[in-house]
Structure formats: C-alpha cells, structure tokens
Amino acid sequence: GNVAQLLERLETTVDIPHHILLVDDASDDPAIPGILEAFAAKAAGRITIETLRTNQGFVGAVNHGLRIARELGEHVILINSDTLPPANWASRLIAPIVADPNVASVTPVSNTAEIASIPAQGVISDVTPELVDKIDATACRIGQRYRTIPIPTGIGFAMAMNRRFLDLIGDFDPAFGRGYGEEVDWCQKARDAGGEHLLATSVFIGHQGGTSFGLEEKRARVAAAGQIITARYPAYDGEVRKWAEAAPHAVQRTVLSLAWLDEVSDAPVPIFLGHTLGGGAALSLSREISGALESGAPAVVVVRVGGNAAWQLEIIGATFHHRCRVGDLDMLEGLLAPLRTRNVVYSCGVGARNPRDVPAALLRLSHESEHNLELRLHDFFAVSPSYCLLDHNGRYPGVPDGAAPCAKSHLPTAAGQAEMTHRQWRALWTPVIEKAGEVIAYSASSAAILSEAYPNATAKTRVFPHDLPDDLPGPVAAGGSALGVLGAINQAKGADVIIDLARHLRHQGSPMRIVVVGDLDPNYRLSPPHRVTGRYERSEIDRLARKHDIGLWLIPSVWPETFSFATREALATGLPVLTFNLGAQAEAATAAPNGHVLKSPPDDTAALAEAIEACISSPERATS
C-alpha cells in the first residue's frame, strides 16, 4: 500500500527534470515487482529498477542506489517508500542546494521526523493525501527569507543530498546495519567538510514512519545507533538538544501546526486570549484548556499578552506545547490564517504592551461572521484600563464616568496616541461586546458592573460562579488570637489596608498580630510582631491557621472582585471572615454563616479595628 501510494504521487508531483531509481530490497511482498514494473512502463527511460537478491537493510539498499546515482552526476533526493509527497515538492526541496554549493542536505518538515516534526513527533498517525496537501499549501506561503533554517543533521526519510558532498564523503557507513543513525553520521562528516544542513520549512512531506521495523527492533536499533553517534561525535546530542530548546523554526512550526489543526478539527478551533501574569484568570484558563482537550479537541490555541513580545502565540495539545513570539497584530492575524473556523474566547488582556490593541485583536481574530466570540469576566478591562476599577488614589469610586480620563498609569500613550476618556476607551470595546455571543460572569456583582457600562451586555451575560476545588481547607477550632489575611496581597487586594491597620494597632497598644498567609507586595513592609508566611498550597491553609493561632480572617480587597477563591477558602475553615461591602467577596461572605460584611469603607481603619475586636469577642456583633 505505501509503495503504490508513493509511486502514484511521484508520477504527478515531481516538478524537475529527474531520473527515478527504485531499489527493491528483496521485499517479501509478492505484489511489489508488479507495482514497480507497472510504474516503470509509464515513464520508460526515466526510471531504473534495481532488485537486490538479498535484503541488505536500509543502509545497504540506499548505498546501492547512491552508487548508481553518483554515476549520473546529479544531486540526489532520498525518499522512503512510506512517505507521501505533495505537489511540486522536488523543486522546493532541491532549491537550496542548487542555490548554494555549501548546502550538503535539505530535509522537509514532516509529521514523523524527530526535531523536524509538526506539531510534534508522532502526534499525526493518520497521514492522508488531503492532510499533506493542506499542510503543504500553507508551507508554500511561507516567505522566502523564512523558508530554510540551519539544522544539526538531515533526516533520511526524505533528504536532498548535494552531489559535491556525496563525491567527497561517499556512502552511508555500513556500521549502522539495517538502519537508524546512518544519515546523522553522514551529515556530521559533511559538516566537518564545510557543509551545512537545512530544514526546508516550505515543504511538508507526510511520513508514515516506523514501517520498516517492528517497535521493539526500532528501539534497539535507535539505541545502538545512538551509542555509535555519541562515541564519534560527543557534542552532537547537546547540539540537537540546544537546537530543539531554541526552536529557531518556532514560527514556521506553529503556522504549519495550525494548518494541521484546521484540517483535523471537527469543531471550531478554540482560540483563547489570555495573559502571562498568573493569578485566578490564568488558573481558570488552564482549566478551560484541559477541558477542551479532554473533550476531544486535537489542540487549542492561546494568544497571550504581557510577555517579552507584544503577543505570544501558543498551540497546546495533550502531549505538546509550542510557543512563538509575534511582533504585531498583522503578523498574528497572518499566522492564524489557516484556521477557517474558530471560537475566540477572551480570558484576560491585562498586561498588554498596548492595551488599545486587545479589543482590536478580538475583532480581527473573530472577523468572519461564523467565528464565535465569547467573553470571560475575570476583570473589568472592557470597562476601564484600570481593570480593578481603582482610581489614582487606589480607591473604588464606582464605575468610572464616561467623561473621566483614563489614568496614564493604566493606559500609557505612545507616540502619536492621545490620552483617552473612558467613553473613548469603551468605544473600542463596544464592537467586541456587540459581537460577543455570550459573556460569562463569575458573580452577580461583576455582571451588574458590566451592564452599567454596557447596557446592551445585560441580555447576553450569564452568571456562572467557578466550581470550588476539592481540596478546600478543613475546619479550624475557634479561639485563636491572630488576624489572618489570605492570599497574594497587593494594592488592589488591600495592602494599604493591612499596613494602616498594623500602624493603628501599634498606636492603640493592641496585642493583636496580623499574619499574611501568602505574599505581600514587596513595595509594602509589615514589621514584627506581624508576619508574612510566603507562598502556600491550598491544602496547607488549615495547618497554617493553627500554627499561627489565627482566630479570624480578613479579606482586605478594595476592589469589587469578579470571584474570590480566597474568601471561600477562608470561609471553609469555619472561622469568622470579614470583607468590605464590595464585589464577589461580599457576595460569598453574605451567603455564609461565618461571613461578615463590613459597613465601613476600606479607608476607615478605626472602624475596621473595632469590627475585628468585636468579631474576636462576639462574632455576631462584627457588622453592627
């Protein structure tokens, strides 16, 4: 089947003057001679069939063919019988050798080609002509300057070989027996002789792979070949590892993987827009990605902001995770062009180098009417570039008025960009809200805030609180004397509240200690007897509460959180939990018997201290 399929493709896809040399390595398949003869009859004079009397293994068969090929005095393309080439592949594969006499070998991208594989080695098992043509059509569109990349070695399943180096080095070394490692050895010799090896990212050739040997024999031969290569070229393994880690072909690998993903996906491909800053949004996105893969998606796409590049494009499958940096929105849109049907999901755009580009990206990535767009309300970025809705004083004044200017700290102005009002900011997001088929909010309060800014969002917004984790902390006995503060505490999470409270307690001579179970923004300092424990696992919360004699919790967030895991984790201990009357944290506290919502504002430190004292002595009086 493989041989007949290959010959059928060769008949119509080789687009250069050529002579085909077929080596029958004493195959035990009785159909092979007839298949070869029928193929040869179609192109008399351009095909030579060599039938070996005994099976000499891959190395022996190739060397037999190479000796005959050298007599013809031309460059050589070595191609396995289990490959599936696309249209017009030969001219593209041989072109780098024709252009540069120092190029010793050229290898195409494939599905099973070790470091030259897309999306990763062995992910694609069903190689069809339609899939090969789809991926190769995308490869053909790769720009001229990106079509070849230096690679440590050629890969023998389909490799163009320069006749100059064939004459200089000779055949494959018979020491490699029936196969594996022989082309690596030849390529290292060629490199030592001044040759260069290239990966042709503009050519994709399908490869069934592993059909010459059984799995166990293949493993044994790969191991044996590896020992020879390591002994001869001690630096080689490290060079391959370094190349794979650097992934100089990352962009090309990504775009070809996207072509694969488009072809094999039965449903619209999920494209998530997220950020690199961690936190609850990143955790939720990770869960969505896992859910999509577990539901049968071959892979998902993530576009991230907040990293070292304007955009980071990722393709994530069950066994692989590839990343590439993208400089601008035009390039991002071009790379994603192979995906014809998409489901674009906004997770979080906070941290974008140019915040104005986030709504533009969502519209461009979902520009076709059949492309769905969904929004996740992990933040209020669509309402204000101050995504926690805090003003320049670090306070929450409510939903910003449209005429109010956007703070420069949250919306830096580049050259040629004017300052913006919130009305102008929301004008960028209004088409996104209108295009979205669904908005998922994680609390009723955040849904209400979005509706205040965008009344037309109300009908499409649904409230779905996050599922709580299975490892919530267990109960902690009452009676502790310390105030616990749970989570990673920055300005929005109430760092100023904690510092002001510590100062107030000291002035009042109160013996109460504040224990931050988690981290405190390094711009803030909490002095003894108060302390910060550092990072923790959720399963450690109850133990840490007992260790530090915590008797109640304060969730000091000064912004209306969209969902608060910390509040629910604190409530799970059974100890009293205080929150300000803001957002999802107040919703959670209101719904729990040990939750207490403070009536005083976050900057009323005296009232907060009084409520804490009341809660320690008599929890039912805490909010009075």
Query: Distance of alpha carbon 35 from its chain centroid, rounded?
Result: 45
Q: Can you name the residues that pair with 465 across neighbouring β-strands?
A: none
Burial 380-399 (b: 16+ CB within 10 A, else e): bbbbbbbbbbbeeebebeeb
258 domain residue, yes or no:
no
Query: Distance of alpha carbon 269 from its chain centroid, rounded?
Result: 14
Q: Can you name the residues that pair with 326 across neighbouring β-strands?
A: 311
Q: What are phi and psi of 570, to 5 degrees?
A: -65, -45
Which of 65-69, 136-140, 363-367, 392-396: highest mean pLDDT? 136-140
- Domains contained in the chain, number: 3
**Are residues 452 and 562 part of one domain?**
no
End position of a domain, from candidates 215, 250, 285: 250
End position of a domain, from candidates 227, 250, 273: 250
- What is the biggest distance separating any 2 CA atoms in the chain, rounded to whole angstroms? 103
Cα–Cα nearest to 65, from 10, 24, 17: 24
> What is the distance between the alpha carbons of residues 578 and 532, in angstroms, rounded to a whole number?
19
Parallel, antiparallel, or unpaired for β 148-150 and 196-204? antiparallel
Res. 621 pLDDT band, cuts 50 70 90: very low
**Are residues 217 and 308 part of one domain?**
no
Cα–Cα nearest to 315, from 361, 256, 359: 256
**Are residues 137 and 102 part of one domain?**
yes
**Beta carbons within 8 Å of 70's beta carbon, 6+ residues apart:** 163, 166, 167
Element (H, E) at 159: strand 158-161
At 358-385, the pLDDT tens digits run 999 999 999 866 779 999 999 999 999 9
Res. 623 pLDDT band, cuts 50 70 90: very low
Report the CATH number at residue 383: 3.40.50
521 domain residue, yes or no:
yes
**Are residues 329 and 293 part of one domain?**
yes
Report the CATH number at residue 615: 3.40.50.2000
> Between the CA of residue 468 and those of 16, 348, 539, what are the distances in Å?
62, 20, 13
612 domain residue, yes or no:
yes
471 domain residue, yes or no:
no
**Are residues 392 and 333 part of one domain?**
yes
Provide the whole-model pTM: 0.90
60 domain residue, yes or no:
yes
**Are residues 442 and 491 part of one domain?**
no
Output the pLDDT for position 304: 96
Torsion of Cα atoms, 520 then 522 then 524 then 527, to 10°: 80
Contact 275, 351 (CB under 8 A): yes
User: Hey, is 161 helix, strand or coil?
Assistant: strand
Element (H, E) at 148: strand 148-150
Give mean pLDDT, residues 86-106.
97
296 domain residue, yes or no:
yes
Output the pLDDT for position 361: 96
201 domain residue, yes or no:
yes
Q: What are phi and psi of 281, to 5 degrees?
A: -65, -40
At 410-437, the pLDDT tens digits run 776 655 677 899 999 999 999 999 999 9
At 183-210, the pLDDT tens digits run 999 999 999 999 999 999 999 999 986 5
**Are residues 553 and 455 part of one domain?**
no
**Beta carbons within 8 Å of 319's beta carbon, 6+ residues apart:** 120, 123
Q: How many CA atoms lie within 13 A of 406 on its CB side?
A: 25
**Are residues 219 and 315 part of one domain?**
no
Report the CATH number at residue 133: 3.90.550.10
End position of a domain, from candidates 203, 221, 250: 250
**Beta carbons within 8 Å of 569's beta carbon, 6+ residues apart:** 472, 473, 486, 538, 541
The verdict on whether omega for the bond into residue 119 sits within 30 degrees of 0, i.e. cis, is yes
**Are residues 384 and 443 part of one domain?**
yes
468 domain residue, yes or no:
no
> What is the distance between the alpha carbons of residues 384 and 430, in angstroms, rounded to a whole number?
12
Identify the domain containing residue 148 by its residue range: 2-250
**Are residues 234 and 110 part of one domain?**
yes
Q: What is the DSSP letter of 378?
A: S
**Are residues 165 and 97 part of one domain?**
yes
Q: Can you name the residues that pair with 198 across neighbouring β-strands?
A: 106, 150
Give mean pLDDT, residues 266-288.
92
**Are residues 354 and 302 part of one domain?**
yes
Give mean pLDDT, residues 552-560.
98
Contact 298, 261 (CB under 8 A): yes
